[in-house]
Each structure stands twice: as structure tokens, then as C-alpha cells.
Amino acid sequence: MPLGVFIFLAALAVTSALGTVLQRNPVHCLLALVVTLLAIAVMFIGLGAVTVGFLQVIVYAGAIMVLFLFVIWLLNLQAELRTSPGYLALKALAGLLCAALVAELFTLLWHAPTAGGAQAAAPPGYGSIEKIATMLFSDYLISFEVTSVLLLAAIVGAMALARRAPAPQHASPQAAAADGPARPEGA
Amino acid sequence: MTQFNWSLINFAWLPILPLIVVAVGAMGVLLAGVQVDDEDSGALGILTIALLVFAAVLSLLLFGGRPSVAFSGALAAGGYTAYFDLLVLFAAAMTALMSVEYAADQGLAGAEYYALLMFAALGMMLMAAGDDLIVIFLGLETMSIAIYALAGFMRHDPRSNEAALKYFLLGAFSTGFLLYGIAFIYGATGSIKLEPIEAALSRPATDNALLLAGVGLLLIGFGFKIAAVPFHMWAPDAYEGAPTPVTAFMAVGVKAAAFAAFVRIFMVHLGPLGPQWTMVLWVMAGLTMTVGNLAALVQTNIKRMLAYSAIAHAGYILVGMTAAAAPRAGGAILYYLLGYAFTNLGAFTVVVALERRGAIHDNLADYRGLAARHPFLAAAMALFMLSLAGVPPLAGFFGKFYIFSAALDAHLLWLTIIAVINSVISAYYYLSVLIAMYVREGGVEPAALRTRPALIATLVIAAAGTVAIGLFPQPYITSAAGAFVSALGNAPHHHVVLSR
């Protein structure tokens, strides 16, 4: 990967990571996080780890982001809560954990093999999409197929629980009206 | 672009035929139900039963088959798989049968209800067939997600909502443990498939600490699913709030499937680690029996009582697993699960019989004087309670007998004593149901049974099975023992601790 591209991506990732932490609106934090994850995904692809890069986009920037959004909407977090004194202890804990993470990263970096050594250790085609696809459709065929059934079952279950059913017949007319389609979502 | 090499797929139709029937059947029921009103979903129930019976017939044909593995070792075929397939399909078909009138009466969404029932059954069959931790995990998730949704199907009943949410949150939590355990075992042994994992156990290079951590996490994950103490907290609320047929399915199907995978992983493949995990199971079994039975004593709601009873029975089965060193233990566990399935499905059918739309009569007080008004219903309930208590010559008695004698074979004297004391304690709360029905007066009038032929059929099948398995245990224990041996047949290294 050319150095210029790397510096650009790294700057983008760090800036948006700062944005994730410093923004006040949780949805803006989330959007900044998406940018960080995408920048890192591009770095992965640039380093030859194409599969990891795409998984980063699909799983992190895709699925997990949607989950975050759902939780934010579910909890109705409009304004940030930051005045409570209890958060000070939490912040101290977060700082401690961050320090531990940084220490861990530097240790890993210190002991990491040089770039050439790491490349030589992996056989050609290691981790390529083609290799993974071949595995998925041969050794893990059953798992792959079952996953689709699992998703179907989850969709059917979610639909069954979420669909607007007619009110039970033994309920009073008032209750039936309250359950009718006129009721706004999440009110 | 290189051509995909089709010969890489180790495809076999035969072992997955029952699975295909259930999976396609579930989608078929979903499609067939598009035009069906929730109030007359009975026809969908009949269709579901027909499909499940068809799958069961296919499994029966596979029962005598030579043990083998298919799909590059992902699925095991043979007696063990077929035994649990039959058990699960039977439990699902009985659940559908007791739901035929119930689901329509309660206005449950019929197509989704029966489709999810079949998806859950599919997941259970995969757990029984999985020879690969990923397949077992996916089966467990398919089963669990379907059951979470089914538990919350009475959407206007807050208890049902609570049941679904509690079961879902704690279930998701326990799934994390299981998956973490699988990852650790993969890290330690370099394989996700059970046979290579077993082979790796005897290699000195295998990281023992990582492996044991993985096995421990796996134990916690399965402990949640079988509701073993101290991972049982969700069970009473989930059992009480779920629609009663779903509770029956949870108590019988989920338990059978979880034990199918649990026994296959631990007793068949992790035999070399036996000394370590049986120690943990010893404590777990003792706690599960004792806490389950003591808590059941004070329950006034019959579904909660049966929930604690189910916990206690998981404890008895864990005694069988602790006795893994005894050759008879595997067969005893399989036989126990069979008798337990008939008996528990029957008991929950009686609970269903007392329920009507908008009026849930699941308190023990509602059963007072039932014998005078409905002698048939009361006699059936009495039979099931006596079998659960372990009174000879019913199925429950021989189940306990085989398990306890296997435990004695394995020199687990103290655990057997704890189990016997627990059986005596449990008689108190099972008999209190009988006393309420036959001695006390009051209670509620159940909906006329005459208009519920499917419910009567469920009761008759369950009662007949409870008596037959108890009176003539020999063919059943023989096939159970044969099924377990066929699982060992897949495993080349089992003789390290377990002998055939």
C-alpha cells in the first residue's frame, strides 16, 4: 500500500474515531464510527487481507451498526447524559481499560514478526475469498445451509411476535380500539 | 476463475432425508397457512403432524443403519441420531396434537406457530446429528430462536411476554458461553469436528488449560439449556408464561436435544477428560436434584411445579452422565429421556385440558375435585404424576432404576443416595396433586373434553406409552443401549475411559 494512501486512511480513521468519542449526539457518534470502520476495512484490503476487509464492512459497518442504531432508537437516547457524578467513576474505569488496551497493543507490536516474516509464514492463497468459499461449500456445506434455515426461523419468529394481530375477542371494545391500527408506533 | 471441484462435497442424501422433510415441511406449512384464519388453524396442525410422522418413518428406517459420518464429518448417521430424531419428532408431533384445539381456541397465529414448531424440531434433530461443534451450535440456535418466539406467542398475556424475554435474554447469554467454549476448544485442538478433537486429546502438544477452559464453558452453556442448577433461574418463569403446549415441548424436546448433544460431546468424545468433567457434573447433579425438588415442594402453580420437577429430572439424568465410566450409563440416559417424554407430555396435556380462552386454570387449587367431575382426566394425571415420582411399574420407575444402577456400577454411592432421597422428597409434591384431585373439593370445570378429540388422543398416546415403556422395558432399554453403542461406534478412541 502506498504510504500516501496509508497516511490518508490512518488520519481518516483517527479523526473519525475522535469524532465517535467527542460528539454529543449518539447518532452522529455512530456515523463517525462507521467511517472509522470503513477506513480500517480499506486498509485491510490494501494489505492483501481482502476477506477480512469485506467481513469488516459486512459485519461491523453493516450488521453491528444497525444493531447499535436499533438500541439507540429503542432507548430513545436523544441528548447525552453526562452530568451525573456517577459517570466520573465510569470514566476512570474506561480510562484504565483504555490504558490496558494501549499497553497490550504496544506489547503485540513489539513482539510482532517483521512484515516479511509474516508474509512468508502464510501459504499462498491463505485466507483468500476463493479458499474460504471452497471450504464453505464443501466441508461446511451443512453449516452453511442450516444458517439460512436459522435466519428464516428467526424472521418467521420476529414477524409472528411483531405483526399487528386483531384484538382478542374477549377484550372490551375500548381495549380493542387501543390495539387498532390507529395507534402510533412507540407512543 | 478456477472451476469448483464438486467432488469436494461429501454429499449423502440418506442421513439428511428426515431433516429435509422437516425443513421443507416447515416452509410448506408456512405457505399453506397464508389463507388460513387463526381461529381454524387445526388443519395446519394435522398437516404438521402428518409431516412429522413422515419424517419419523424415515428416521425409523435409518435406525438400524450402520453408524457413519457424512458431509466431511459434520453429521453422524446411525442409531444414536435416529433414536433422538424419533424422540424429538414424537415430542413435536404430540405438541402439535395437543395444540390442534388449543391454538385455535387461543387465537394463536397458526401458520407461524406450527412452522416454528417444525423449525425447532429441525434444530433439535441437528443437535442430535451434529458431529461437529458448529452444526451442534447452529442446531441449538435454530431450536432456541424458534422456542423463544413460541414462548411469547400469547402476545396479550404479560406472563407470556415475560417468559419469552427472560428465556431470550438468558438464552442468548448462555449461547455466548457455549460459543466461547467452542472457540477455546478449537484453539486448543485445532479442530471443530468431534472426532479430530478426540484424537487431539491424546496428543501431548494439546494445550490443556485452554482445553479445560473450553470444556468448562461448554458445560455452562449446556447447563443453561437443560436448566441445571445454578443455571436454572429462567426455567420457572419461562415454563409458567409460555403457552402450555410450548412448555411441554420445552420440557421434553429441548431437554432431549440438549442431552443428545451433551452426551455425544462429553460421554462419547471427551471420554479421556472424564475424570475432570465428571467431578463437576457430580456437584451439578446433586445440586440440581436437591434444589429442583425442594423448590417444587412449595409451588402452588402446576406449571411452575412441573418446571422445578423438570429441573430435578435433569439432575437425575446428570447422575447418569456422572456415571459415564459405567457401560450401562448411556443406554440408561436414553431410556430415561424416552419415558420422561411420554410422561411429561401427558402431564402438560392435562394442564392444557383445564385451560380455556381467557381463563388459565394452572393453579394447584384448580385441580381440586377433578376426579369427581372428570374421572378420565384425573386418572390420566394421576398416572403421569406416579410415573414422574417413580412408582413401579411405570416408565419413570425403570428410568430411575437404570440410572441409579449405572451410578452404582460407577461407584457413585453417595450421589445415588442423594438421588434416592430426592426421589422420596419428590413423591410429596407429585402426590399432593393426587390428593387435590381425589380428596379435596372445589376447583374448576374444564372445557368439555368431548369437543376436543385431539386432546383425548394425546392423552391416550401418552398414557399408553407411560404404561407400556414401564411394563415392557426390555425392548426399549435394548434399543436405547444399542443406540448409544452406535454413537460409540463412530468414535475410534472411546475406549480410553469408556468400555463397550
Q: What is the distance in angstroms between the Cα of B360 and the nearest Cα belonging to chain A?
A: 14
Identify from A150, A151, A159 which residue to disrupt to test chain B contact, counting B C-beta atoms within 10 A and taking the largest count: A150
A161: domain range? 125-165
**Does the distance separating the beta carbons of A160 and B27 come in below 8 Å?**
no
Query: What percent of chain B lies above the pLDDT cut of 70?
Result: 96
pLDDT of residue B203: 81
Domain assignment of residue A174, yes or no: no
CA gyration radius, chain B: 22
Average pLDDT rounded to a whole number, residues B146-167: 90
Same domain, A131 and A75: no
Cα A75 versus chain centre, distance:
18
pLDDT of residue B493: 41
Residue A164 clears pLDDT 80, i.e. is over it: no
Identify from A139, A145, A179 which residue to disrupt to test chain B contact, counting B C-beta atoms within 10 A and taking the largest count: A139
Residue B332 clears pLDDT 50, i.e. is over it: yes
Residue B498's pLDDT band, with cuts at 50, 70 and 90, is: very low
Name every chain A residue with its beta carbon within 8 A of the beta carbon of B167.
none
Cα B34 versus chain centre, distance:
30
Residue B57's pLDDT band, with cuts at 50, 70 and 90, is: very high
| Cross-strand pairs, B76 | B69
pLDDT of residue B202: 82
Average pLDDT rounded to a whole number, residues B84-97: 96
DSSP secondary structure code for residue B381 in this structure:
H
Short-list B321, B340, B342, CA closest to B399: B340
CA atoms in the 13 A half-sphere facing the CB of A71: 7
Give the chain A residue nearest B6 (alpha carbons): A138
Name every chain B residue with its beta carbon within 8 A of the beta carbon of A156.
30, 112, 115-116, 119, 149
Domain assignment of residue A64, yes or no: yes
Average pLDDT rounded to a whole number, residues B93-122: 92
Q: Which of A80, A101, A133 is the last residue of a domain?
A: A80
Strand locations in B150-228, DSSP E? none
Q: What is the distance in angstroms between the Cα of B358 and the nearest Cα belonging to chain A?
A: 7
Q: Which of A134, A139, A167 sits opposite B4 (nearest CB)?
A: A134
Give the chain A residue nearest B125 (alpha carbons): A146
pLDDT of residue B460: 95
**Does the distance separating the beta carbons of A142 and B16 come in below 8 Å?**
yes
Q: φ, ψ for residue B93 (rounded to 5)?
A: -65, -40
Domain assignment of residue A145, yes or no: yes
Average pLDDT rounded to a whole number, residues B362-379: 87
Residue A85's pLDDT band, with cuts at 50, 70 and 90, is: low
Name every chain B residue with its beta carbon within 8 A of the beta carbon of A131.
none
Residue A81's pLDDT band, with cuts at 50, 70 and 90, is: low
Residue A185 clears pLDDT 50, i.e. is over it: no
pLDDT of residue B286: 95
Return the amino acid letter for B214: G
- For B457, the 3-state DSSP assignment is helix
Same domain, A3 and A73: yes
Please tell me the distance from the alpha carbon of residue B187 to that of residue B264, in angstroms, as a whole number: 20
Provide DSSP, chain A.
Answer: --HHHHHHHHHHHHHHHHHHHH-SSHHHHHHHHHHHHHHHHHHHHHTT-HHHHHHIIIIIIIIIHHHHHHHHHHHT--S-----THHHHHHHHHHHHHHHHHHHHHHHHHHSPPHHHHHHHSPTTTT-HHHHHHHHHTTTHHHHHHHHHHHHHHHHHHHHHHS-PPPPTTS-HHHHHHTSTTSPTT-
> Alpha-carbon dihedral of residues B491, B494, B499, B500, nearest 10 degrees?
0
Please tell me the distance from the alpha carbon of residue B352 to that of residue B173, in angstroms, as a whole number: 30
pLDDT of residue A74: 77
**Does the distance separating the beta carbons of A170 and B357 come in below 8 Å?**
yes
Put simply, whether B141 touches A (Cβ < 8 Å) is yes
Please tell me the distance from the alpha carbon of residue B140 to that of residue B13, in angstroms, as a whole number: 22
Give the chain B residue nearest A159 (alpha carbons): B112
Same domain, A1 and A73: yes
Residue B25 clears pLDDT 90, i.e. is over it: yes
**Does the distance separating the beta carbons of B74 and A141 come in below 8 Å?**
yes
Same domain, A61 and A131: no
Domain assignment of residue A90, yes or no: no
pLDDT of residue A84: 58
pLDDT of residue B70: 82
Q: Which of B74, B109, B156 sits opposite A142 (nearest CB)?
A: B74
Domain assignment of residue A108, yes or no: no
pLDDT of residue B345: 96
**Does the distance separating the beta carbons of A142 and B2 come in below 8 Å?**
no
pLDDT of residue B175: 93
pLDDT of residue A83: 55
Average pLDDT rounded to a whole number, residues B338-366: 88
Residue A82's pLDDT band, with cuts at 50, 70 and 90, is: low
CA gyration radius, chain A: 24
Q: What is the distance in angstroms between the Cα of A174 and the nearest Cα belonging to chain B?
A: 15
Name every chain A residue with its beta carbon within 8 A of the beta carbon of B142.
146, 149-150, 153
Residue A59 clears pLDDT 60, i.e. is over it: yes
Lowest model confidence (mean pLDDT) among A154-163, B242-251, B418-427: A154-163
Please tell me the distance from the alpha carbon of residue B357 to that of residue B84, in angstroms, as a whole number: 34
- Please give the mean pLDDT across all residues of chain B: 89
CA B7, B13, B17: angle at the middle one, nearest 5? 155
Put simply, whether B61 touches A (Cβ < 8 Å) is no
Residue B137 clears pLDDT 80, i.e. is over it: yes
Contact between residue B466 and residue B339 where contact means Cβ atoms under 8 Å apart: yes
Same domain, A2 and A62: yes
Contacts of A28 (CB under 8 A, 6+ apart): A19
B392-418 per-position pLDDT tens digit: 889 999 999 999 999 999 999 999 999
Domain assignment of residue A74, yes or no: yes
ipTM, two decimals, is 0.89
pLDDT of residue A79: 54
Query: What percent of chain A lies above the pLDDT cut of 70?
Result: 75
List, as ranges, residues 344-373 from B with C-beta within 8 Å of A. Answer: 357-358
Q: Which of A80, A108, A135 is the last residue of a domain?
A: A80
- Per the listing, cell 452453511 goes with A144
Q: What is the distance in angstroms between the Cα of A6 and the nearest Cα belonging to chain B?
A: 30
**What DSSP element (H or E) covers B72?**
none
Q: How far is CA A169 from CA A172, B37, B51, B99, in A?
A: 8, 14, 32, 19
List, as ranges, residues 78-117 from B with C-beta within 8 Å of A. Answer: 107, 109, 112-113, 115-116
Q: How many domains does chain A have?
A: 2
Domain assignment of residue A60, yes or no: yes
Domain assignment of residue A62, yes or no: yes
| Cross-strand pairs, B70 | B75
- Please give the mean pLDDT across all residues of chain A: 79
Give the chain B residue nearest A179 (alpha carbons): B156
Residue B312's pLDDT band, with cuts at 50, 70 and 90, is: very high
